[in-house]
Amino acid sequence: MSITANRIKELRTQKKLTQQGLANIINSSRGTVAKYEGDERNPSYAMLSLIADALDTTVEYLQGKTDNPLKTPAVDDNGGENEQLSPNQRRIAFSIDPDISDEERDDLIKLFEIAIKNRRRI
């Protein structure tokens, strides 16, 4: 069984969540959670992020890239803590290809700004 499958199950049981309970939090089904834990299916990065948030850990821990299950606060260049993303912001961020260029990223930001501006006019 993979590290990811083991760690999802381990943390879920530590938090005294059922598979259905975790599924409800991440807006998925109990069967999908069971498949993740049974190593029959691999969660996407976006789903891993939702699972990590639900289990109060990091994606890196779930993937076995670190042995530290604790979240550490994000720090900006000035040493201050960044604000947490809202669930909608997180869904948008994780749905975008992480390999996009800086120019493509700037174009997407402009597109989002236009969409938000037009939404407010309605």
Tens of pLDDT, residue by residue over 22-48, are 999 999 999 999 999 999 999 999 999
11 plus 48 within the same structural domain: yes
95 plus 58 within the same structural domain: no
Residue 45 identity = Y
Q: What is the CATH classification number for the domain harbouring 34?
A: 1.10.260.40
56 plus 11 within the same structural domain: yes
**CA 72 to CA 17: how far, in whole Å?**
23
Is position 55 within any domain?
Answer: yes
Q: How many domains does the chain have?
A: 2
Is position 77 within any domain?
Answer: no
**CA 56 to CA 114: how far, in whole Å?**
34
**CA 78 to CA 95: how far, in whole Å?**
28
Is position 69 within any domain?
Answer: no
The pLDDT assigned to 109 comes to 78
Is position 78 within any domain?
Answer: no
The residue with tokens 């499958």 is 5
Is position 50 within any domain?
Answer: yes
47 plus 7 within the same structural domain: yes
Q: What is the DSSP string of 62-103?
A: HTTS-S--S----B-TTSPBPPPPPHHHHHHHHHS-TT--HH
Sorted by sequence, the CB contacts under 8 Å of residue 81 that are 6+ apart come out as 73, 74, 75
Is position 100 within any domain?
Answer: yes
Is position 80 within any domain?
Answer: no
Using the CB atoms, write b or e for 2-13: b if 16+ within 10 Å: eebbebbbebbe
Domain of residue 42: give its range.
Answer: 3-62
The pLDDT assigned to 76 comes to 47
Phi, psi for 61 (deg, rounded to 5): -65, -45
95 plus 52 within the same structural domain: no
Please say which residue of 62, 97, 112 terminates a domain.
62
The pLDDT assigned to 110 comes to 81
Is position 54 within any domain?
Answer: yes
Reading the chain (122 residues) residue by residue, the pLDDT tens digits are: 899 999 999 999 999 999 999 999 999 999 999 999 999 999 999 999 999 999 999 999 999 998 888 876 554 444 445 566 677 776 677 667 767 777 877 887 788 778 777 775 54
